[in-house]
Amino acid sequence: MSFPTVRNRRLRGNAALRNMVRETVLDRGDFIYPIFVTHGHNIKDEIPSMPGVYHFSLDRLEEEIRDVQAAGVESVLLFGIPEHKDALGTSAYAADGIVQQSIRAVKGWAPELLIVADTCLCQFTDHGHCGIVHVHEHTGEAVVDNDSSLDLLVQTAVSQAAAGADVIAPSNMMDGFVLAIREGLDEAGYSDVPIMSYSVKYASAYYGPFRDAAHSAPQFGDRKTYQMDPANVREAQREAESDIAEGADMLMVKPALAYLDVLRMLKQNYSLPVVAYNVSAEYSMVKAAAANGWIDEKAIVLETLTGMKRAGADVIITYHAKDAARWLRGEE
Ligand code: PBG
Ligand code: ZN
């Protein structure tokens, strides 16, 4: 007989059948939407390199929160752009810092919206690095002073939890950061607040638009001494293992698109939820091509986010969240 016994096309001929056997289904509950908050009044400024994403002052933030809820997105990631920067990143852990104020305000408007706080110092330091730095005397590279930076990071996390953050997302990749933050949160009475660790964060050119948006480009050196080499995946395994041992509740891979193999590796090897960060340049490239009429934005975005989920992401942090949630509900 010349007929093949396996005919995959049998399962593709009918929409109901395709729906029934679909392996990966995106859900608006998977998404976290990043929001940038700044000081000042009546500010809603579009970030030039990230069309559709804005800086909001606190007095304009509520309209954005209402839009997030109207879209059906259930979680936000808050980034602050402070007025004041200094070498120690003081306003990252001030009780009335921009992030702390935003968390309180958002909790007041939308108590059920899940708030994830990015816990890092780079938006708050005048040198733009993620901790206290010194310059290596021979190589001229910026080196983060691990242990003194950890103290400040713990203070930041505790102040965010005190303001009402539901999840702490520490992003500076210093050795021991998860354990230090876990202990700090526990001691301060926040043992139920989970840690979403930026476990596997590559030194990436894909953060370019974000650094414009957050005014957090390093003023000297780069982040290669504390972020990972894009060529490595076994190192990602070591990072994940140490974060798990230190008490992380979720593991993040950042960026997402060029690192889907890393997402898959974490998913297969560990049982913690895996988070993909669909970062700024991944967003901006899509928006630029769409603005030129070169691609079908909706189709590209949904295909890309589905790819991330198929690769292993349980959660996706994405600037497309509001659009994607609306598209999934059948809106245009
Ligand atoms: C801060 C931080 C960065 C991003 C998220 N948190 C920038 C960086 O590490 O330089 C990038 C997010 C994006 O590009 O969308 N540590
Ligand atoms: Zn940082």
> What pLDDT, on the 0 to 100 scale, is given for residue 2?
65
Kindly report, residue by residue over 47-63, the tens digit of the pLDDT: 999 999 999 999 999 99
Question: What confidence tens digit (pLDDT) does each residue in 208-220 have?
Answer: 999 888 777 777 7
- Lowest mean pLDDT segment, chosen from 150-154, 155-159, 221-225: 221-225
The confidence score (pLDDT) of residue 32 equals: 98
Question: Beta strand 133-135 with 142-144: parallel, antiparallel or unpaired?
Answer: antiparallel
Distance 49 CA to ligand 1 centre (A): 14
Cα–Cα distances in Å, from 99 out to 120, 128, 157, 260, 324?
A: 11, 17, 11, 31, 26
Is 207's C-beta closer than 6 angstroms to any atom of ligand 1? yes
**Gyration radius (Cα) of the chain, Å:** 20
Residue listed under structure tokens 């908050």: 37
Kindly report the average pLDDT of the chain as a whole number: 94
Identify the pLDDT of residue 102.
Answer: 98
Question: In angstroms, what is the span from residue 173 Cα to ligand 2's centroid?
Answer: 9
3-state secondary structure of 97: coil
- Over the stretch 169-201, which tens digit does the pLDDT of each residue have? 998 788 899 999 999 999 999 999 999 999 999
Helix-helix angle 58-71:98-109, to 10 degrees: 50
Mean pLDDT to the nearest integer, 22-41: 97
Checking if the pLDDT of 145 tops 90, the result is: no
Q: What is the pLDDT of residue 10?
A: 86
Mutate to test the pocket of ligand 1, among 116, 122, 153 (most ligand atoms within 8 A of CB): 122
Is residue 75 helix, strand or coil? strand
> What is residue 312's predicted lDDT score, i.e. its pLDDT?
98
* CA–CA dist 31, 308 (Å, integer): 12
Omega of the bond leading into 255 within 30 degrees of 0 (cis): yes
Quick one: average pLDDT of 219-241?
A: 89
Mean pLDDT, rounded, for 75-79: 97
Q: Which pLDDT does position 1 carry in this prediction?
A: 57
CB of 279 closer than 6 angstroms to any ligand 1 atom: yes
pLDDT classification of 138: cutoffs 50, 70, 90: confident
- DSSP secondary-structure letter at 252? E
Residue 259 has pLDDT above 60, yes or no: yes
- State how far the Cα of 320 lies from the Cα of 259, in Å rounded to an integer: 19
Catalytically annotated residue among 85, 254, 267, 322: 254
pLDDT beyond 80 at 314: yes
Query: The tokens of 240 are what?
Result: 């994940």
Q: Which domains does the chain have, with CATH numbers?
A: 25-328 (3.20.20.70)
Confidence of residue 3 (pLDDT cuts 50, 70, 90): low
Residue nearest to atom 9 of ligand 1 (CA): 207
pTM for this predicted structure: 0.95
Q: 21-35, 141-155, 216-230, 306-320: lowest mean pLDDT where?
A: 216-230
Closest CA to 118 of 171, 192, 174, 161: 171
| Cα–Cα distance list, 111 to 103, 118, 198 (Å) | 10, 19, 25
Mean pLDDT computed over 288-294: 98
For 165: left if phi > 0, alpha if psi spans -120 to 50, otherwise beta; the answer is beta
Mean pLDDT for the stretch of residues 109-122: 96
Is the pLDDT at 88 greater than 80? The verdict is: yes
pLDDT at 142 over 80: no
